[in-house]
Amino acid sequence: MSPQEKTAHRSNKHPRPRKARLTAVSTVLALLVALFTTAAAADVTADEPTEGPARFAPGFVHGKVAVDGGAVHYVRGGSGPALVMLHGWPETWWMWHKIMPELARDHTVIAIDLPGLGSSAIPAGGYDKATTARRIRQAVNKLGFTQAQLLGHDLGALIAYSYARDFPTEVTRLAVLETPLAGFGLEELYGISWHFRFNMSPAPIPETIMDDADVRTYLGMMFGFSHRPETVDREVYYAAYASPARRTAGYEYYRAFPADAANNQANAARRLTMPLLAMGGQYSFGTGVADSFRQVAEDVRPVVAPDSGHYIPEENARFVSDCARLFFGTGNPGPQPQPAACAP
């Protein structure tokens, strides 16, 4: 347990009165969960280590590498060019586990826990996406790669964009899933789902309202944004965000959105030239991801993932792995036909 987690744990020894569960916030959350969630996924693996051989598939290992702000946890397997995977909120590297073995046939797959989340150290600051991208790049370089292909979902896609923009000669291809870019459409979502402004609220507002007992209710609502909720390993993520310090790290990524938007707008003239795959779920963003990234990139290839909501890598893993193998130039697709945009 990190020093930050120990501090947060001590502060939670005397929880606030439980009458707060009768507040309007908890009532709304409970109603939303009833509407949008189903039974938890069966594929729960709480026994994955943080170092050494992985258990979810042969040939993968867990490790940690020191970067600015503290050590970053990663899971690595395969051989060949580096394919770096960056997860979204409220998830961890585990969101990629269904597609990692297939992509490791032709790549060195590196799935990273974002700083502050999963099993990575919790930085004292620097949750803006440009700073986070620099930390991820440090990890990639220390793992022996000066060039990489990037695959990011949600929050991870925002970080992957900053990585590609700030180090364009080091990123050969970029795939972004299920988010518009800050400063170029992300803000339009704030009125659609209240979790944006809740997470962005200054400390300690969300920290005080959301205590340990509320995690399953709140994150359960978030996983309701899936089209096939039974495919999402929500129990893994409930455990990953059980720590108050981890939840605060997640809020800090959201609190940095205004700074991210300003940074992206100020640097929009530095348009990306590498191929960019922009994928949205059929029942979520659809082509909206591509519409956003066309404002900052030259070669944007829109793809709509069928039979998926927000959590595409878990809801339709076969489609994502087949499309990614084509786009990243790694081999022939599987039996499922792919859009032309997936091709190299």
pTM (2 d.p.): 0.88
pLDDT per residue as tens, the chain (344 positions): 554 544 444 444 444 433 333 333 333 333 343 333 333 333 334 589 999 999 999 999 999 999 999 999 999 999 999 999 999 999 999 999 999 999 999 999 999 999 999 999 999 999 999 999 999 999 999 999 999 999 999 999 999 999 999 999 999 999 999 999 999 999 999 999 999 999 999 999 999 999 999 999 999 999 999 999 999 999 999 999 999 999 999 999 999 999 999 999 999 999 999 999 999 999 999 999 999 999 999 999 999 999 999 999 999 999 999 999 999 986 665 666 678 899 88
Gyration radius from the chain CA atoms: 19
Could you give the CA distance from residue 75 to residue 94 in angstroms, rounded to a whole number?
Answer: 9
Does residue 230 contact residue 41 with C-beta atoms inside 8 Å?
Answer: yes
Question: Which tokens hold the place of 79?
Answer: 């051989």
Inter-residue long-range contacts of 204-210, CB under 8 Å, 24+ positions, other chains counted: 206/247, 206/251, 207/244, 207/247, 207/248, 207/251, 208/16, 209/20, 209/25, 210/247
Could you give the CA distance from residue 299 to residue 72 in angstroms, rounded to a whole number?
Answer: 31
Could you give the CA distance from residue 133 to residue 164 in angstroms, rounded to a whole number?
Answer: 9
Which domains does the chain carry?
20-342 (3.40.50.1820)
